[in-house]
Amino acid sequence: SALRAAAGQLDLLVNNASTLGAAPLPALADYPLGELRAAFETNVLAPVALIQLFLPALRERGGAVLNITSDAAVEPYSGWGGYGAAKAALEQASNVLAAEEPAIRVWWVDPGDLRTDMHQAAFPGQDISDRPLPSTVVPALVRLAEERLPSGRYAAAELVPA
């Protein structure tokens, strides 16, 4: 396709788009299945589709995939079942991709709690101004790319240069 041809020089694919799913956050027992399906579409299937599309170019250049995930993928936060399950699926897909594609790097990164519209939607009416801005995570992501750290799961807070 023309899109794939234009990606011939692709070195890094960043999958950052995400959706919280149902908000306010319902218990998993009450989670609307349509909202759950939408969360999996956005948080898992869309990144996998982009990876499939651009993998030939990434292999050719020894590129990398960076998937933005969440601690909700590995911690049992009440109300976060839909989002967390989708992010857990993205993490496992990343883990498998890293095993299957040793010629590229695959990183999945938990950026931490950030001051975003999505995070605010999870906590309606609460003041989240104490959370750091998303830009504070950029140095951690740059370090991954510049140092070509091994494939794996990282927390942004552990990567920020001293």
Place of tokens 């911690």: 75
The pLDDT of residue 8 is: 58
Which residue among 31, 77, 83, 154 is the active-site one?
83
Mean pLDDT in the chain? 92
């993998």: which residue's tokens? 55
Q: Which amino acid is at 76?
A: P
Concerning whether 31 is annotated as a catalytic residue, the answer is: no
Domains and CATH numbers, the chain: 2-159 (3.40.50.720)
Instruction: Please report the pLDDT score of residue 64 as a whole number.
Output: 98
Residue 55 near residue 105 (C-beta atoms within 8 A): no
The rounded distance, in Å, linking the Cα atoms of 97 and 94 is 5
Residues 66-78 pLDDT 10s: 999 999 999 999 9
pLDDT in tens, 113-159: 988 787 878 788 888 889 878 899 999 999 999 999 999 999 999 99
| Percent helix, percent strand, percent coil in the chain, to nearest 5 | 50, 10, 35
> In the prediction, which pLDDT does 47 show?
98
- % of residues, the chain, pLDDT over 90: 76
Whether 156 and 109 have beta carbons less than 8 Å apart is answered as: yes
